[in-house]
A = this chain, B = another copy of it.
Amino acid sequence: MNRRTILTLLGIGAAAMAATPSSQAQSLDGADLAAIRNLIKTYETTWNTSDLDGMGRLYRRDIHWVNVKGMHWRGFEEVDQAHRAFFDIMFRGTRQDLEEIESITPTAPGVAIAVVRWLHGAYTTPSGNQVQSQNTRMTLVLAKGEGGWKIVQGCNIEVDAQAARFDPIRGQKPG
């Protein structure tokens, strides 16, 4: 079974390969790709079961996180505490469903970056605002250590569907 076949079976095809021009080629073998996909699926499960302990086991100690509102949390304790606070206030029971792992790009030995699109379910803020379900696009920087792959940085953005029409690369073409 060759590398391409393995990648295809893992559901990672042209995107992961094409994202790595030969001049910067790094390696991510099938086991690493599978472990990274598994981490992302585990993240989804911990979110959807409000399992903050499990979510925290995916973090490296020096994780930073920038959330959809631009808040910047630094280190395990802050990232963990902030997520627990928001689950207590408004996210417990809301869903965050994985739509697509758009890319997994090897950065250096033992480091990779995933870009993942989620569908975040509707929820109500403490002040009573009804927030509709919405796509978000999350960047996860992942590093491999003694405990396997862990998240060292997260950065999540609400996708602006109106603006997406004017994406210079993937937007609607005139005509």
The quantity of this chain's copies bound in the complex is 2
Q: Which residue of B lies closest to A70 (CB)?
A: B159
Name A70's contact: one of B24, B76, B86, B136 (CB within 8 Å): B136
A61 touches B152 (CB 8 A): no
B66 touches A157 (CB 8 A): yes
Cα A135 to Cα B72 with chains together (Å): 13
- Closest CB in chain B relative to A167 CB, distance in Å: 5
List the B side residues contacting A75 at CB < 8 Å. Answer: 18-19, 21
Cα A82 to Cα B169 with chains together (Å): 6
Task: Assess A85 versus B168: contact at CB under 8 Å? Given A24-B61, A157-B155.
Answer: yes
- Determine, out of A4-12, A30-38, A47-55, A100-108, the stretch whose residues face the partner at the interface: A100-108
- Counting contact residues on chain A (CB < 8 A from B), the size range is 35 or more
Could you tell me which residues of chain A, from 135 to 175, have a CB within 8 Å of some CB in chain B? 135-137, 139, 141, 143, 145, 152-153, 155, 157-160, 163-164, 166-170
Q: Which residue of B lies closest to A166 (CB)?
A: B126
A164 touches B70 (CB 8 A): yes
List the B side residues contacting A159 at CB < 8 Å. Answer: 69-70
- Chain A positions within 8 Å of B, measured between CB atoms, are 15, 18-21, 23-24, 60-62, 64, 66, 68-76, 78, 81-82, 85-86, 102-103, 105, 107-111, 113, 115, 126, 135-137, 139, 141, 143, 145, 152-153, 155, 157-160, 163-164, 166-170
